[in-house]
Amino acid sequence: MINNRERYGMKKANIAPFKLLATLVITALSLATLSACSSSDSGSSDKVLRISTIPQGETGDKVWQQAADIFKANNPEWDVQFVIQDDDLYETVGLPNQLTGSNPPDAYYEWAGDRIVQRYNDGFAADLNDKIKSSKIGTLFDPSTLLAGQVSGKTVLLPTGQDVTNVIWYDKDIFAKYKLTPPTTWEELLAICAKLKAAGITPFSMGNKDMWVAGNWFAHVYSRIIGEKMYHEIMTLQTPMNSPELVDAMKVVVDMKKNGYINASANSIADNEGYTLFFKDGAAMLPIGSWIVGTQKDEAPNKHMDFFNIPAISGGKGDQSSVIGVTVGYVINGKSTKIDKTIEFFEGFFSDEVTAAWQKQGSSPVTKTAMAEQLDPLQIKLGKLIRSGVPIVAPPDTGYQLKNADALNLATQQVLDGVKTPQEALDEAQAKLAKK
Amino acid sequence: MKPSSRWTPLILIAPALIIFVFIVLTPLIGTAGLSFTRWNGFGAPKFAGFDNYSRAFADLVFIKSFKNVAIYIVVTLFVEVLVGLVLAGILSSRVRTTVYRVALFVPVMLPMVVVSVLWRFIYNPDFGIINAVVRKLGAEEFSQVWLGDTKTALLSICFVSGWVYSGFYLAIFTAGLQRVPRDIIESAQLDGASDSKVFWKIKVPMIRSVREVSALLCITGGIQGFDLFYVMTGGGPYYTTEVPTTYMVRSVFRDQEIGYGSTLAILLTAIVLLVGLIFMRIRKKNEGSLEY
């Protein structure tokens, strides 16, 4: 039997530890909250420039270092830190995380189009108009080159290149062996595919696990068929994705699938596995962008390859000489406290010395000097293609909102795999977009 | 022994408590708060009430992700737990089996991302070992796009999971089987019981708690499974290998729907807790039955 005193004593003894327990929990919670709040400010006043980018290959890393060395020679107390992330990761998850993280980059790689508009609206892209005028950068570029990196008349992106995001690369040796020449019409392309298939060679290889490879290629084909205007309207959701015109255009993918012109593994392998298949003679053609030049130099230097743009599609409503491409470059973080120093870094980055190193590496910079003197024959040809004055079609994933791009690219992937008809795939895409 | 001061127990648990608050309680409360908002990671979150919850219950991909994880758990109960049990039975009845035990345990020590990348190569339809062997044997028609086919993708992942974790359960069951008294086994053998009978009729029933813990680990681990799915298929093709965790990551990081992703996280946590509680209830019910 417990008497009142004992009961009281017990109660008293229990209250104090509970008070302590509660105090501990509250203190820890407060500390956690405080540390979470304060973390966003850390790292803003140090003497380190943080540049976020996608991989540039082994030789590209050396050029980055060269640019950093120039900056450090003039600023011995400063350091330059490169944050390099896989491009698929960077484009989707990586960059937003970095920008909102505790050590946000002072400058970061971006694709012109909807993405830089969003960055500017969110305050993550600095208006560089005045900085360009007052620094050496203004003299390094032709003003027209900077236009693609503008948002409402404000330059927010310093261009490093104009990526042709999709052309058809072909194996010159295979084409020579079977006496094939680059096609000028879609029918000729299909005839080439039929001939290769009959010879036991897979016409196209691609790694479309992440959906953007076939997404870019066929988006260009769709724009040629339905016209650039309608393509833009669909990608900006002004016109439904399941419009009859796009459903019809998607039959091109059905034909490719039906005839077995694309590697059966396409939707299960990554983009780089698709390159490897092409480099190892697993296919005669590879639909991919201009960056393959640098990859080929690193991974298959003996591969003889050339490219052609998507050939003309008869009856297509779009410009049959259009190119799918995007201007890429670096945005200076509008929230950075080191904008002037970052500009100084890019003065070195765009210098003639570093530009020459980029050209040697296989890239195609767009400074005045670089435009006047391209080194790599394939890059010269690509440069001519994108600067020939033909309409430039924006790729779904970098030119438009990611959710819209994902919807179209998934539909393309489903049709390519034969699991859905164009109508079913696009109906599903439209329904999904309508819900969000 | 009684503590010298009433503060002693609290002082002793304080470090663990503080860590728990920092790494479990705070994120959990934060996530629960975010689950009632619409937020893309930039700017201020907007209050959305229960919208995210009603959306989650009507989200066909989210529902499918639970069906997928259920299939994964059922298959892995066989290829991980049952295979681990059988291997433990075989190895514990033989002598000089250290090499086999180590060999079977090695996959458990490999980081899951390494395992996933390794098996991606093995499953590669163009250069992978499996299809190469199949082609060499002249059975081209059996070569598959293992991770890209809706019929084979999930089972291919289950197989890899079995390859990794059967060694883990082998270790757990071996420890359990070693606790079974020799005299019981010898009595059974004297009565003429075969090795197989001794294993299934005596040893296995006597390690009930080990079996239950293994099943619980397999089920809760399965619900939380992420890395294999994310690296090997990314949830594809067409959500065939989408599990709640990969869908959650897709919602938060790719679609930038942090509020909705937080809702999925809270629902997933609730389901894991519920499964754990049901399991504990079942265990409690069975307490008192014969076990060594």
> Which residue of chain B comes nearest to A10, CA vs CA?
B6
DSSP state of A266: G
Alpha helices in chain B (DSSP H): 8-20, 26-34, 51-58, 60-76, 83-92, 98-109, 112-123, 129-136, 153-178, 182-190, 195-197, 204-206, 208-224, 227-232, 244-249, 258-286
pLDDT tens for B120-172 read: 999 998 889 999 999 999 888 888 899 988 899 999 999 999 999 999 999 99
Q: Is A23 within a domain?
A: no
Rounded-to-integer distance, Cα A150 and Cα A117, Å: 9
Residues A277 and A170 in one domain: yes
What are the extents of the domains in chain B? 35-286
Residue B30's closest chain A neighbor by CA?
A33
Determine phi and psi for A331, rounding to 5 degrees.
-105, 135
CA distances from A302 to A271, A278, A290, A360, B72 (A): 20, 13, 18, 17, 45
Helices (H), A43-94: 57-74, 87-89
Looking at residue A185, the DSSP 8-state letter turns out to be: B
Could you tell me if A137 and A279 lie in one domain?
no
Q: Give pLDDT tens digits for B40-82.
A: 777 778 999 999 999 999 999 999 999 999 999 999 999 999 9
Contact B254 A273 (CB under 8 A): no
The DSSP secondary structure of B63-111, one letter per residue, reads HHHHHHHHHHHHHHIIIIIIHHHHHHHHHHTSSS-HHHHHHHHHHHHS-
**Shortest CA distance to A175 belongs to which of A192, A161, A194, A198?**
A192
Q: Looking at the structure, do residues A190 and A287 belong to the same domain, yes or no?
A: yes
State residue B291's pLDDT score: 54
CB under 8 Å, gap of 24 or more: what pairs does B127-130 form?
Answer: B127/A276, B127/A277, B127/A280
Count of A-B CB contacts under 8 Å: 101
10 Å CB burial of residue A215 (0-12, 13-18, 19+) is: buried
- Cα of B4 to nearest chain A Cα, Å: 13
User: What is the CATH number assigned to the segment(s) B35-286?
Assistant: 1.10.3720.10
A292 & A367 share domain: no
CATH number at residue A146: 3.40.190.10
* A91, A227: one domain: no
Per-residue pLDDT of chain A (436 residues; tens, 9 = 90+): 444 444 434 444 455 555 555 555 555 555 544 444 444 444 455 899 999 999 877 777 888 889 999 999 999 999 999 999 888 788 877 888 888 888 899 999 998 888 898 899 889 999 999 999 888 888 888 888 888 888 989 999 999 888 899 999 999 999 999 999 999 999 999 999 999 999 999 999 999 988 999 999 999 999 999 999 999 999 999 999 999 999 999 999 999 989 999 998 999 898 999 999 999 999 999 999 988 988 898 889 999 999 999 999 999 999 999 999 988 899 999 999 999 999 999 999 999 889 888 887 777 788 888 777 666 788 888 888 887 778 889 999 888 888 899 999 999 999 999 989 999 999 999 998 887 6
CB contact under 8 A, B126 and A93: no
* Same domain, yes or no: A76 and A103: yes
Among B residues 192-251, those touching chain A with beta carbons less than 8 Å apart? 233-234, 236-238
A210 and A250 inside one domain: yes
Q: Which residues pair with A329 in a beta bridge?
A: A110, A159
What domain range is A307 assigned to? Answer: 164-325+392-435
Q: Cβ of A268 and B125 within 8 Å?
A: yes
The answer to whether the pTM exceeds 0.95 is: no
CA distance A202 to chain B (A): 12
Number of domains in chain A: 2
Q: Which element (helix H / strand E) includes A323?
A: strand A323-332
Of A122, A382, A394, A423, nearest in space to A248 by CA: A423
Collapsed DSSP state (helix, strand, coil) of residue A300: coil
Residues A291 and A381 reside in one and the same domain: no
Q: Which of B124, B126, B237 sits opposite A417 (nearest CB)?
A: B237
* Together in a domain, A239 and A299: yes
CA distance A298 to A284: 20
- In DSSP notation, A331-368 reads EE-TT-S-HHHHHHHHHHHTSHHHHHHHHHHT----SH
Residues of chain A with Cβ-Cβ distance to B147 below 8 Å are 268
Kindly determine whether residue A29 and residue B149, on different chains, have CB atoms separated by under 8 Å.
no
Phi and psi torsions of A157, nearest 5°: -125, 130
